[in-house]
Structure 1
C-alpha cells in the first residue's frame, strides 16, 4: 500500500486518528488483510507524532497506555514547550495553562459546548452523541439556561445538607460487608458502590434494580470517551431505550403523586411557568446517573492512591481530621476525576498567538491546568493543607458540574469513615489497575491492606468488648 494512499485516507478522515484503526478500516483497509491494516496504523501514528515533536518539541497521543497510566509528565511538557499545541493526530488545539483553560471555560459565548466532538464524524462516540437527546452538559444558552435553572432547584445547599447522615450510614454499611478481611478492593467495595447507592436512593430506584442501574451508568459514561467501540455504542443506544422505558411511567406517576425523591423534585420543578418535559427529565436523570457515580468513584480511588503514595499526608489527616475538607480540594487538584473538557470555537479567534478558525475544536487539559506553577506553588507536590488557588476539576462558568457539592460531600465522608475504621491503610498485593479512559480518569481495581480499629462501634456494627478491654 503506497504511503501517499494512506496519507490521503488520513486527510479524508480529518486527521482524527484517536481511533485510527477504525478509521483506516473504513477509509482504506477494506481490501486488505487485518494483519496489514494493523501494521500500517501504528506506523502512521508514529509518523504524525514525530512531526508534532519536530514542530513543537512535544507530541500528544492520549491513547498511549503510558499516558493513560500517568498523564502528568506529558501535561508538564505541553505547558512548558507548547501550551497551545496543534495536535496532528486529532486536529485539535490542546490548551494546558490554567489561565487559558479557566478563561475558555468561563466564556460560553466565544467557546461553545453544544457542537463539540472529540473526533470526526467517523468515530463512534460522535455518532452516538448525535442520536442521544442532548443533556445540560452539551447545551448552550438559551436552552442550557432554562434547563439549568430548573434542575438547580433540586440541588440546593439545603438539599445536599440533608444527605450527610444517609451518605455516612451507607459508607459504614458497605464497609461492614468487608467484615474482618484485612485486604480488599476499594473500588468494588466502597468507591463504586457508595455514589451508586446514594444516587439510586435519591432517584428512588428500588434495591433490586441497582445492579441494572450501575450497568446503565457504566455504559453511558463510555460515551464521553473517544475510544468508544462500535459494540459499546450499540449497547449505549439499547440502554438509552431501556432507560427511557423504565423512567417514563415513574415520572408520570411522580407528577400525580410526588414523593421526596429526586424524580419528584425534577418533575415538579418550575421557573417562570416552565417545567421540564418528560424527555428533559429523563435526559437529566441520565446525566446525573453518570455524574453522580463517576466523579465520586474516581475522587475516592484516585485520592486514596495519592495519599498512600504520600503517607505523611495521610498521617496528617489522621492527626487533624478537620483538614479533610481542605484535603478533598487538594486531591481534586492533584489527580482530578475529569481530565479533559472540550469546546467548539464560535468565531475566528486568536489563542496564545495562534489563529484559530471558527469551528475548530479545543482540548482543555483540566489535569494539566491544575498543576500549573503559575497558579499553584510547587504544584507537583500533594499538600493537604494547601489553601491557595481554585482547582477547576468540576469546570467553571455556566457548565460547572451540577453534582459537585454531592461529590465533595461523598468524598469527604468516605475518607472520614476510612480513617475512623482503619488504624492503618496500605497498598494491597495487586497493583492498581486504571480504566482505559482518557476523559474520566479512574481505577478499575485498587486493593488496599488495612488494620481494623478495635473497640469502636460503627453504624451497623457491634463493638467487640473483649478487644476494647484489651
Structure 2
C-alpha cells in the first residue's frame, strides 16, 4: 500500500473536470489507500472489488437518503425532505422498492426485450446509413444517443417528438447523481438549473399520465396506470417518479455503454477487426466494456445500522466499522479494475477467461434494464464494425462534466478510411 494520502484531497481530485477523460490512474491511487474514512463528513469510501461487492449485498446497506445523518441534519436546518415527491425505486428500500420494481420488471422480461430486437436492428441500420454519407460522424449523436432514446420512448409511451425537451432535462438531472453533497457538503454549481429541470420533467410526466388515462396505449406508463397488485394501486406520484427514473437511467447509461465500447474498439484495431469478422464476439465486448470502462462509475449507499466491512490489512483484522447513518461511496469503476479481480486490469481484453464486474451493480438493486442495455449495445456494435470495418478514430473524444454517469459529449469516427 502506498503512503497515506488526504482522503478529502483525493475525492476533490475525482470531482475535478480535468480527470474526466481518464479517471482510472486516480482510481488506482484511491484503491491502493484502502477504505477512506472521513468522520467529519459522515462518509466512508470503498474501492476494492471485495468491499464494494459486500456492501452492495449487505442487509444493512440502504438506498434511502432519508436514513443518512447528513440528510437528517439538512432537514433539521430547513431543507425539504423530498422536494420533488417520492424518489424512483432505485432510491428506496424494501418493501417500497420491492413492490415498485416488481411492477416495472414486467416491461423488461426476456420476451418483451426480444420483441424489440427487429426495431433496434432497423433503427441502427438507418443511423449507419446516415453515417456512411459523412467523412466523419459523431458516434454519440449519430448512434449511441438516438438508439436508446427511441427505445425508452417506445417502452414508456413518450412521444418521440418530445424527446429534445425531456432529454435536455434528463442531461441536467444526471448531474444530480454526482456526489458533491456527500464529499463537499454543498450541491455544487447548477443547483437552480437542475431544480427547474426536475420540476419541468415531473410536470411533463403528469400531463402525459393525464393523456394516457383517457387514451391508454400498449406501453409501460399505461400499464402502470392500470395496474393493481394485491389491491394496491400505484399513486400518481409513484408513476411519475418511476417514469422519471427510467427516462434518465434508461438512456444515459446505455449511451455511455455503446460509446465507451466503440472507443475501446477503435483504440485497439485488433479487437475492432475481430468483431467485424465475428459478430459472436459482441457479447464479450459488451461485458469487458462494463468492466473496463463502465457507464456508471460509482454508487452511494447509507448504513441503516452499524456495519463492519472487510477484514483489515493483515487479513485477520476486524475490518472497517461504519456508524449507522453514515454515507458509503462505492467506487465501482475502481473495483472493476482491482488486480485481485482480474489480471492486467488496465487492458481491454474481451478474451478474458472470466469477465466479472459490478457494471450493473449487485444485490437487490441489480440493474433492471441490463438485458435491454446488453441487446442494444450488442446490435449497435455488431452493425457498426461490420458496416465500417475500416473505421478509425477521427479525433480525441470530448467528455461531459458528469462524474457518476461519466460519458462522452463527442466521439468523431471516420467510417471509411481509404488507407485500410
Fold-level similarity (TM above 0.5): yes
CA distance 1:331–1:348, change in 2 (3 Å): same
For residues 302 and 308 of structure 1, the distance between their equivalents in structure 2, rounded to whole angstroms, comes to 10
The aligned residue for residue 76 of structure 1 is 28
The CA deviation string for residues 218-267 of structure 1, in whole angstroms up to 9 with x for no partner, is 12212112459777333333333333333334334434543212212222
The answer as to 2:146 corresponding to 1:193 is yes
For residues 305 and 89 of structure 1, the distance between their equivalents in structure 2, rounded to whole angstroms, comes to 40
- Equivalent of 2:119 in 166, 169, 173: 166
The CA deviation string for residues 21-57 of structure 1, in whole angstroms up to 9 with x for no partner, is xxxxxxxxxxxxxxxxxxxxxxxxxxxxxx962699x
For residues 296 and 364 of structure 2, the distance between their equivalents in structure 1, rounded to whole angstroms, comes to 17
Task: Give the stretch that moved more between structures: 176-185 or 228-237.
Answer: 228-237
The aligned residue for residue 460 of structure 1 is none
Q: Provide the secondary structure at the position in 1 that maps to 2:20.
A: helix
- Equivalent of 1:392 in 358, 375, 379: 358
CA drift at 1:146: 1.2
The answer as to 2:184 corresponding to 1:184 is no
The aligned residue for residue 274 of structure 2 is 316
The aligned residue for residue 338 of structure 1 is 296
The aligned residue for residue 386 of structure 2 is 420
The aligned residue for residue 364 of structure 1 is 330
- Equivalent of 2:284 in 320, 326, 333: 326
For residues 192 and 18 of structure 2, the distance between their equivalents in structure 1, rounded to whole angstroms, comes to 29
CA drift at 1:119: 7.5
CA distance 1:439–1:208, change in 2 (3 Å): same
- Equivalent of 2:37 in 86, 109, 114: 86
The aligned residue for residue 208 of structure 2 is 250
| Normalised TM-score (structure 2) | 0.86
Q: Provide the secondary structure at the position in 1 that maps to 2:137.
A: strand
Aligned residues: 397
For residues 98 and 305 of structure 1, the distance between their equivalents in structure 2, rounded to whole angstroms, comes to 25
For residues 323 and 284 of structure 2, the distance between their equivalents in structure 1, rounded to whole angstroms, comes to 40
Q: Would you say the 8 A contact 1:118–1:226 is kept in 2?
A: no
For residues 226 and 292 of structure 2, the distance between their equivalents in structure 1, rounded to whole angstroms, comes to 39
The aligned residue for residue 398 of structure 2 is 433
CA drift at 1:102: 0.9
CA drift at 1:268: 2.6
RMSD between aligned alpha carbons?
2.9
Q: Name structure 2 gaps, 5 residues minimum.
A: 181-185, 311-318
For residues 224 and 188 of structure 2, the distance between their equivalents in structure 1, rounded to whole angstroms, comes to 33
CA distance 1:263–1:306, change in 2 (3 Å): same
The aligned residue for residue 94 of structure 2 is 141
The aligned residue for residue 276 of structure 1 is 234
The answer as to 2:165 corresponding to 1:212 is yes
CA drift at 1:299: 0.6
CA distance 1:118–1:191, change in 2 (3 Å): farther
Q: Name structure 1 gaps, 5 residues minimum.
A: 1-50, 454-470
The answer as to 2:330 corresponding to 1:377 is no
The aligned residue for residue 157 of structure 1 is 110
CA drift at 1:382: 1.2
The aligned residue for residue 320 of structure 2 is 354
For residues 140 and 19 of structure 2, the distance between their equivalents in structure 1, rounded to whole angstroms, comes to 22
For residues 6 and 179 of structure 2, the distance between their equivalents in structure 1, rounded to whole angstroms, comes to 26
For residues 347 and 40 of structure 2, the distance between their equivalents in structure 1, rounded to whole angstroms, comes to 31
**Post-superposition, which runs of at least 4 consecutive aligned residues in structure 1 deviate over 4 A?**
87-91, 116-123, 126-129, 227-231
For residues 80 and 400 of structure 2, the distance between their equivalents in structure 1, rounded to whole angstroms, comes to 21
Question: Which of the pair has the greater relative contact order for Cα pairs under 8 Å at 6+ separation?
Answer: 2
CA distance 1:297–1:380, change in 2 (3 Å): same
Greater C-alpha radius of gyration? 1
CA distance 1:64–1:90, change in 2 (3 Å): farther
